[in-house]
Structure 1
Amino acid sequence: MQERNSMIEPPIETLLEKTGSKFSLVIVAAQRGRQINDYFSKLGQGMGDVLPPQVTSASHTALSMAFEEIAQGKLEFVDTVDAVDTATKDE
């Protein structure tokens, strides 16, 4: 596998199409990056409660893996503000 420069791949435009805003991208990537770090830190300790990385990656950082997962559509997230607004309107 060829090592990639994570500042270029995946392109920011692709990531923004998936998340809708820079703020959402930062939040989703940071949360998933922490989950990936937790997964690797708990390896060998039995079954964990954290989902392993969903992409095969040459990246060495959890954040880069999170960006790749977002770009490939492996993560689903809900904008909770929009979800709350929609639920409130339905009532």
Structure 2
Amino acid sequence: MEEDRGIADPPLDSLLSRSGSKYGLVIYAAKRARQIDQYYIDLHEGSFYAHVGPLVSVDADDKSLTVAMREIAEDKLDLKSSAAE
């Protein structure tokens, strides 16, 4: 039986240690969540390869922001490169 995840999973402290600032983390996660949303819209419309889908395993009820935070926590994304943009 799978254990329920908490409301802040992954823990915010671990995410902040990767980003350096709360503001940077929020902006980056929100941008990535929009990319994930657009990926699913494109997938539904039959348009492939326009956006990158989730880089971690996803449950049917996971929100895109949760997926983005898990990608950051699992080092699937590089936050340093987005700071220069």
TM-score by structure 1 length?
0.76
Distance 1:30 1:8 in 2: 16
Q: How many residues in Structure 1 have an aligned counterpart in Structure 2? A: 80
The aligned counterpart of 2:15 is: 15
Moved over 4 A (4+): none
Identity %: 36
Residues 53-64 of structure 1 mapped to structure 2, 5 A cutoff: 53-58=54-59, 60-64=62-66
- Structure with higher Rg: it is 1
Residues 1-91 of structure 1 mapped to structure 2, 5 A cutoff: 2=2, 4-5=5-6, 7-44=7-44, 45-58=46-59, 60-77=62-79, 78=81, 79-80=83-84
Distance 1:39 1:54 in 2: 12
CA RMSD of aligned residues (A): 2.0
What are the ranges of 5 or more consecutive residues in structure 1 without an aligned counterpart? Answer: 82-91
